[in-house]
Amino acid sequence: MKSWRIVLATLIGAAALAIAIPAALADPPATPPRADAYYTVMCLAPGDTTPTAYERVDAHAVEVGNKDDQVARYGDHHAGWQCWLEPGQ
């Protein structure tokens, strides 16, 4: 009787592992657009010719919290980087 419990527990564990692995390795879901107003931080890395969106920033942080100045000064600490804000879409 004890050996059947061990076999059953092993099978349940193997089944749980077989189900969990594909879910863990799957691509993450695409993030939906923000519902609130936001700005997109665009950066041009050294050696790149195409700007890339790096993050979305809450509009309140830009308009009241001085985030635009922080984004503009990013290149002061990271040589060659140029970053700016663009309104969200």
70 in a domain, yes or no?
A: yes
Judge contact between 82 and 41, C-beta under 8 A.
no
Q: How many domains does the chain have?
A: 1
Judge contact between 53 and 42, C-beta under 8 A.
yes
Q: What is the pLDDT of residue 82?
A: 87
Report percent pLDDT > 90 for the chain.
Answer: 1
Q: What is the pLDDT of residue 34?
A: 59
pTM to 2 decimals? Answer: 0.54
20 in a domain, yes or no?
A: no
Taking Cα atoms as reference points, which of 31, 30, 32, 44 lies closest to residue 86?
44
- pLDDT tens string 2-27: 788 888 989 898 888 888 787 777 76
Amino acid at 14: A
The residue length of the chain stands at 89
Kindly write down the DSSP assignment for every residue of 22-85, as one continuous string: HHHHSPPPPPPPPSS-EEEEEEE-TT-SS-EEEEEEEHHHHHTT-HHHHHHTHHHHSTT-EEEE
User: What is the residue range of 50's domain?
Assistant: 38-87
